[in-house]
Structure 1
Amino acid sequence: MRVLETLTWMVAMLAATAGAFVIVTFGPVLLRRHEAATRLSGLFALDRSHGTLVEIVLQGLEKAGRSIEGAKVNQELKSLVLRAGFFQPSAFYIFAALRYVAGFTVGFLVIVARIGPQGLHLIDIILGLFFGYLFYRYVLIALKLYADRRANVIRRELPPVLDIMLMALDAGVSIDQCMRYVASVAGRTAPVTSEVLRRHVADIDGGMPYDAALDRLGQRLGLDEGQDLASTIKQALFQGGELGTTLRRFSADMSEKRMATAREQVGRKAPHLTLVMILFFMPVLLVVLAGPAVVELKGALQNAGEQMTKTRSSK
């Protein structure tokens, strides 16, 4: 019975983990669909009194998140949500509500799984609260991992994007035309970075000042190199200077950083390989080297025992 309860509890945790992973993975798609549906409903369906199920769920999560956060907004968490690629204003509140939903759901499932014939005990409630808080923290850790993964993708995509920008600038186009051209042609080679550039172009077309749009560009890129790139373009626009030379130097620095990171990762593999060899190769080697000696020692001890038995029997 205890084994069955343990398996039920493990299945509940795995199901909650899979659900949280699906929500975090497909969150941007849901948010983009929500934004597109909201715009279309405002343009073509003004008299509609109800929305889709996804809209209702997202609006409910947003309202719950606003109620939870209140007037004080956690800027660190908000910047983390932005680094993860969720640019909609409601994404922060939806994530804040999802954390509590995940924690309460996992805690409730653990408590339900622990209910036995004798009812509910205090230890069951404590376990439910513990695992609920654990998954409440796990949602934040998952968002951090997703943001780091996105930052690594952008870090890999920036060098070819900078090369295209340099080619466009060397052809004599302006910075604005260069950004538009890169956003339109880099969709396959750099999908994440090109999406950020398209949003930057949309901000400019919407009437946002160049300095504010470039600041938002650096925030959307979500890494230090992106902030430096936005600052470099901003300085060239408002203070003058040769942007091509600066970008070429910036691209060379990024390439050197990538090579240094690659060398560091290769250097970390050597201790890992040594540990693997110690765990898997050394026992086999010891068996091969010491096996014959152990067999011979065992045979010698058996012969000595037989001789001692014969001597005692003859006496």
Structure 2
Amino acid sequence: MQSLINTLTDPKFLIAVLAAVAAAAAVFSIGVTFFSGGSNMRQRIRRVALEREKLRAEEMSRLRGTGKDQGPRSIRQAAGRSYMKNIVERFSLEKAFRDENTADALARAGYRTQGAMTTFLFMRFVTPFALFTLSFAWMSLSLFADRPLWMNALYALFLGLVGAYLPNLMLKNKTQKRQQSIRRAWPDTLDLMLLCVESGMSVEHAFKRVAKEIGSQSVELAEELTLTTAELSFLEDRTRAYENLARRTGLDNVKSVMTSLIQADRYGTSVGTSLRVMAEEGRESRMMEAEKKAASLPPKLTVPLILFFLPVLFIVIISPAMIRVFSQNVHLS
């Protein structure tokens, strides 16, 4: 019994047992991969294909704005859109606030459905009145309670007039952030498209593949490329899909690339050559933008340097001399 215990507690025996277990686990995992993986390979491929088609249908439905969500949230959204639509139609807000550039401005911000247009018009109509009411109540009850009501109403009216431009400012801010994200990822997108086209892919498959790859860098650009892929698949003319992409982004570099693709498709020239030229220009423009930011850095640092760094430097340099002078004066006195 004692010998058995000594054997079980022997370090060499424990190392050998652990090594045998590890070897058996490795052999078992490799064997399972080789023997059981090939039997259901066709079923796995079929399931992946079905899942891909399902995701594609859902993405197409979402991008076209025809997707129907189920549940209480969708019911509340439908109710909200219904009363907004009634107010917009009753007061003819489309004639008052909508022009030929409103739809393009919303598309550049990522809002492409009719519900987004209704919400934007409703907010432009309601925001001034809501801001006027809230500011008047707040001034009259707390901030300027001791002042006359007509003065508080005048201040609230000014804030209400500012609130009339608040939806436009928010839309502009959203557009700038979206365009900045697309602008940063666009040179890499051109490089990926060039690789896909030169490898033998068609333009539709290149857009689809690049949309999947660029999503980790810019979700907005991936969304636009996915929508362009859908338009290339069901529109009769590719020119409309390219023009829609340039119109939705509102960027000059995207517009120039789409113009090159339109010319290549119309006159039968090489798409790869056009993409190569545009990719080189995109890299050069990005480098020039980086150099411009680097050149503008010294003037921006001048004021903080004068205000914060130089006084501390003078104190550090002059303090020992001043301390020595004061100490000598004390000794002399």
**Aligned-partner Cα distance in 1 for 2:156–2:63:** 35
**Shift in Å, 1:296:** 6.8
Structure 2 unmatched ranges of 5 or more: 1-61
In structure 2, the partner of 1:218 is: 246
Q: How has the CA–CA distance of structure 1 residues 100 and 295 changed in structure 2, closer, same or farther, with 3 Å as cutoff?
A: farther
Give the 5 Å matches for 1:24-39: 35-36=65-66, 39=68
Q: Does 1:262 align with 2:290?
A: yes
Give RMSD over aligned pairs: 3.3
What amino acid is aligned across from residue 81 of structure 1 in structure 2? L
**Shift in Å, 1:145:** 2.0
Q: Does 1:239 align with 2:267?
A: yes
Give the 5 Å matches for 1:148-297: 148-285=176-313, 287=315
**Shift in Å, 1:175:** 2.1
Mapped contact 1:183–1:198 kept (Cα < 8 A): yes
Q: Structure 1 stretch 97-106 or stretch 287-296: which is displaced more?
A: 287-296
In structure 1, the partner of 2:95 is: 70
**Shift in Å, 1:111:** 0.3
**Aligned-partner Cα distance in 2 for 1:61–1:243:** 46
In structure 1, the partner of 2:122 is: 97
In structure 1, the partner of 2:76 is: 53
Q: Does 1:115 align with 2:140?
A: yes
Q: Structure 1 stretch 150-159 or stretch 51-60: which is displaced more?
A: 51-60
TM-score (norm 1): 0.71
What amino acid is aligned across from residue 87 of structure 1 in structure 2? R
**Aligned-partner Cα distance in 1 for 2:84–2:63:** 15
Structure 1 unmatched ranges of 5 or more: 1-31, 46-50, 301-305, 307-315
- Number of corresponding residues: 263
Superposed CA offset, 1:89-135 (max 9, x none)? 33233213213333322221110011246686111111111112223
Q: How has the CA–CA distance of structure 1 residues 250 and 296 changed in structure 2, closer, same or farther, with 3 Å as cutoff?
A: same
**Aligned-partner Cα distance in 2 for 1:143–1:296:** 63
Structure ID, larger Rg:
2
What amino acid is aligned across from residue 267 of structure 2 in structure 1? Q
What amino acid is aligned across from residue 205 of structure 2 in structure 1? Q
Q: Does 1:79 align with 2:79?
A: no
TM-score (norm 2): 0.68
**Shift in Å, 1:178:** 2.3
Report the 3-state secondary structure (helix = DSSP H, G, I; strand = E; otherwise coil) of the residue aligned with 2:114: coil
Identity %: 24
